[in-house]
């Protein structure tokens, strides 16, 4: 059965092909007219103008950025020169008055009232190496050391 079904399908296929090829040969199509090419536009001139405008815009942008950069550099240079001038003025060695050896300086306590006691503030430098002598000698010396006011 399988073989006979295949033979039938082959026969039908060959018959259809033969009919279509014979009908095509009988029906010949009329000769076609020569086609005329349509005119087309590449827009190259328009694209060239747009590209030239774009290039001009880019060049002007770079030119303006360069001018702005030069102005910023000039301003920075002026600021640095002014700072150097000020430093040179400050660094000029000036003569100081000779101390009065006949009247030695003796510091005096000020009469201003203190804002708050020193004990209320925490001693931050107690943990640092500067206050090791306070820590090594005990808390009494630390309180005594920090209750004294420095001489102004």
Contacts of 125 (CB under 8 A, 6+ apart): 131
Distance, CA of 10 to CA of 96 (rounded, Å): 126
**More confident call, 3 vs 65:** 65
Give the DSSP letter of residue 95.
-
pLDDT over threshold 90, residue 71? yes
pLDDT score of 7 = 79
| Residue labelled with tokens 């000769």 | 31
pLDDT score of 17 = 65
Domain ranges of the chain: 43-93
C-alpha triplet 70, 75, 80: angle, nearest 5°: 125
Write the pLDDT tens digit of every residue in 6-36: 777 777 777 766 655 554 455 677 888 888 8
Write the pLDDT tens digit of every residue in 128-140: 545 555 555 555 5
Q: Which two tokens stand for residue 8?
A: 């039938």
């Amino acid at each position: 059965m399988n073989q006979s079904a295949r033979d039938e399908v082959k026969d039908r296929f060959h018959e259809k092909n033969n009919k279509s090829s014979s009908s095509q040969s009988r029906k010949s199509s009329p000769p076609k007219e020569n086609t005329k090419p349509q005119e087309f536009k590449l827009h190259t001139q328009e694209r060239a103008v747009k590209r030239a405008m774009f290039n001009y815009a880019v060049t002007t942008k770079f030119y303006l950025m360069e001018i702005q950069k030069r102005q910023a550099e000039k301003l920075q240079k002026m600021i640095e020169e002014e700072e150097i001038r000020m430093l040179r003025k400050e660094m000029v060695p000036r003569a100081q008055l000779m101390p009065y050896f006949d009247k030695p300086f003796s510091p005096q306590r000020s009469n201003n009232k203190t804002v708050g006691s020193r004990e209320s503030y925490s001693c931050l430098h107690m943990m640092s190496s500067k206050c090791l002598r306070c820590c090594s000698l005990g808390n009494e010396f630390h309180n005594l050391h920090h209750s004294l006011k420095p001489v102004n």
